[in-house]
């Protein structure tokens, strides 16, 4: 009966023999079998420098493994970048009486996060917009002018900002809503209107 250590040596020797014999002509010393720092069996092609990894019963090119790792890193970096605030240029909305409107967004975990500052606060509308609605409608648009998001702003997401004398000088909209990553990435502009 063999110990598991002996079986491991036999498996390694068979794998090394298999890797070494692949595409190797008698009398040539084209391939070298090694173990990398992760303990995997690798085959080095001395002529081309290509590294092939033995994974189970398959030979996998190290370049394809590296490509997969690079793609994972790029996807992670993209998500990190989307979670950073994105600032849109200042706007004015004359119909609302707003002379300075700023908007910043970010995307994380399937949600669009929005922060809008309006100064001065929009003038009041004489219309009734329903319980819980502010009367303001926020839209985000793609490069072709199509609405990606078009939503009435809930009253609960609006904060009135006052100066040191208690006079309301601006409004802030702080809001989040579900949105796909692709939809977020297609946003190029925003606008604010009455409902």
Task: Look at the block and give the residue holding tokens 């084209």.
Answer: 30
**Res 1: pLDDT:** 46
Predicted local confidence at residue 62, as pLDDT? 66
Q: Are residues 75 and 94 in the same domain?
A: no
Show the CA angle centred on residue 42, arms to residues 39 and 44, nearest 5°.
140
What's the pLDDT tens digit per position in 38-55? 787 888 788 887 778 777
Q: Per-residue pLDDT tens, the chain, 195 aa: give them.
A: 445 554 444 444 444 455 445 555 555 688 888 887 778 788 878 888 777 877 777 877 766 666 777 777 777 878 787 789 999 999 999 989 999 999 999 999 999 999 999 999 888 766 655 565 678 899 999 999 999 999 999 889 999 899 999 998 999 999 999 999 999 999 999 999 987
The residue written with tokens 């069996």 in the block is 41
pTM over 0.85: no
- Same domain assignment for residues 115 and 190: yes
Hey, what's the torsion of the CAs at 184, 187, 190, 194, to 10 degrees?
Answer: -60
Q: What's the pLDDT score for residue 9?
A: 46
In 23-112, which ranges are continuous DSSP H helix? 62-82
Residue 51: give the domain boundaries.
4-80
The total number of structural domains in the chain stands at: 2
92 and 76 within one domain? no
Lookup: tokens for 7 = 């079986």
Identify whether residues 64 and 47 lie together within a single domain: yes
Cα gap 15→33, rounded to integer Å: 9
The DSSP element (H or E) to which 105 belongs, if any, is strand 98-108
| 186: its two tokens | 């297609």
* Token pair for 114: 């929005």
| Residue 56: strand, helix, or coil | coil
Express each pLDDT in 6-37 by its tens digit.
Answer: 444 444 444 445 544 555 555 568 888 888 77
- Asked if residue 68 and residue 34 are part of one domain, the reply reads yes
Among candidates 98, 105, 109, 110, which has minimal Cα distance to 175?
A: 105
Residue 86 confidence (pLDDT): 94
Instruction: Evaluate the omega torsion of the peptide bond into residue 193 and state whether it is cis, within 30 degrees of 0.
Output: no
Residue 42 has a pLDDT of 80
Rounded Cα–Cα distance for residues 191 and 153 (Å): 12
* Residues 74 and 98 occupy one common structural domain: no
SS3 24: coil
| Same domain assignment for residues 49 and 92 | no
Verify that 58 and 125 share a domain, yes or no. no
């Amino acid at each position: 009966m063999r110990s598991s250590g002996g079986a491991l040596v036999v498996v390694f020797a068979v794998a090394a023999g298999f890797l070494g014999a692949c595409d190797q002509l008698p009398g040539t010393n084209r391939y070298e079998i090694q173990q990398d720092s992760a303990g995997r069996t690798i085959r080095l092609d001395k002529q081309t420098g290509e590294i092939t990894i033995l994974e189970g019963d398959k030979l996998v090119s190290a370049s394809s493994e590296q490509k997969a790792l690079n793609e994972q890193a790029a996807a992670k970096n993209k998500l990190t970048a989307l979670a950073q605030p994105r600032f849109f240029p200042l706007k004015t909305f004359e119909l609302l009486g707003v002379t300075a409107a700023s908007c910043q967004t970010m995307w994380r975990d399937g949600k669009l996060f929005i922060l809008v500052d309006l100064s001065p606060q929009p003038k009041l509308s004489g219309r009734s917009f329903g319980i819980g609605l502010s009367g303001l409608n926020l839209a985000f648009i793609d490069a072709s002018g199509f609405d990606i998001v078009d939503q009435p702003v809930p009253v609960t997401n609006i904060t009135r900002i006052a100066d040191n004398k208690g006079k309301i000088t601006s409004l802030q909209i702080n809001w989040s809503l579900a949105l796909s990553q692709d939809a977020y990435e297609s946003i190029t502009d925003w606008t604010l209107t009455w409902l």
